[in-house]
Structure 1
Amino acid sequence: MSLPPLAALRAFEAAARHQSFKKAAAEIAVTPTAISHQIRLLEETLGVRLFDRKPRQVVLTQAGQELYPVLRDGFASFANAVDAIRRRKTSRGLTVSVLPSFAAKWLLPRLPDFQKRHPDIHLRLHTSAAAVDLASGAVDAAIRYGRGPFPGLVAQTMFRETFAPLCSPMLGIQSFADLGNATLLHLDWLHPDDVTPTWERWAAANGVKGLKTSGGISFSDDTHAIQAAIAGQGVVLASPAMARDELNAGLLILPFGRHLDGHHYHFLHTGRGDNRTEVAAFGDWILAEVTKSRTAS
């Protein structure tokens, strides 16, 4: 195709749209003199005047009026095509909503493996205990703890959570009698139900009678409760899976090994959206990590 220089066409389109060389120059980030030069080059190439130049304004000639809408629509098509390509490129992003404690204690230590396997996926973690609306598209998937069901969502069960007494070895707790003399650390659950782990339920499930479960210290975040247990401030009824590193390092112990079942963790998504491939890749990876952790334990 035999076309004038693109820079000259761009300068003309901007000047015609603004009816000003100065405003066109500001938009393109050049000087008004450069705009004038490009338009003069275009006029020389076409052999016609495109603007009538007046003291305080420029006015399109008949030839300019014929050329302007064609270029306007053409540049709009260029912009739409470029935006579409950019959107497809950024669709490799993936936003996953995760419970803060699950992110800190279970997911984050494993993420380097996901990044190694999927370096082209830009993963964003949205840490919140609040429910998220996956249908809105602001978040692509979520890892949530609970009973379900989850209407309208694809739910992949990860694993059942369990809870057990955890404490620092410095407390010297070896028997239920020792537990009765210790400070109990409690977790405040947002939506307690009949499976919520409490010291009352744990004692009843394990035949521990006379355990005083009132008093002690309560925490809204189980990572803080675990840190308090490491510091020897008491015994916490928490997830051994979330305290794996601390147990392996000997900072915490399971004095009784008596567990209490909780709900399951689930990987949730809508099954729709532009980045279904990324959601599937993350879901496959995290379920493989669950299987790996079961084998290791």
Structure 2
Amino acid sequence: MSATRPSAARRPPYAVCAGTCAGTILLLTACGNTSETAAGTHEVRAAATASAGVAGPQATWDRVRTAPGPYAPRVRPLEIPALGPRTRGEIPADARQALVITGDSYGSSLSTAVLYTRDDPTVGWRAATDRWPAHNALNGWTDEHWEGDLRTPVGVYGLTAAGGRFEPPETAFPYEQRPEFAVSGEGFDGETLEGSFDYVVAVDYNRVSGASPLDPERPLGQERGGGIWIHVDHDGPTQGCISLPKDRMRELLRILDPEKKPVVVMGDVEALER
């Protein structure tokens, strides 16, 4: 009798789909009813693709929903140009008006002026006027002002009072009209000084803030000088003040607002860049 080949062991019905773990799960799931089959197949396929490192439809959608939006760069508020970090740091945080006087050089009596406003802190400083011509002291500027040195003090100072011989333009700024705002004589270039104090704004250097521009008190002592004003230009250097053309003085008075805590930022160009 010839040997016969032993018959192969009968494999269970589910063995036809045996192989990977995912395949076994698929077949077992398919043994349910038809409605469960579609949902189960979707879940098994998602699990299988996820196990293979491939994102399924839901994972892809989750990434889309959680993906960051377009990059929006942070916009910094505008700064007053040509001022260095030290000078900017001296401007009070609550100041919203700044008259910037920039001298041509340390020893020059020629300068320019621009009024800046900061009505919206998120926007920053913006120029509220054109650039105005101006004069400062005969000998230029100084970081340490003394009586009679014929220099204008560098720094940031409050503007809290104004006055003059003439009635002011419409203004919210404290202003006193008095005949004592009178001057005569000649300037350093032989020009007449008459009318220089028709309009003045006191600079809070060595004076009591808010007092009359004519107030004689000097908190730092008389030897440190005082009476530093912004006044009408007389076409020549000053003894320590800042001078602007008459129409610019009127414009300045119209714009200055005590609620905006105005200051003057003044110095030669190199000093202001510090």
TM-score, normalization: structure 2? 0.28
| Higher share of residues assigned helix | 1
Larger Rg: 2
TM-score, normalization: structure 1? 0.26
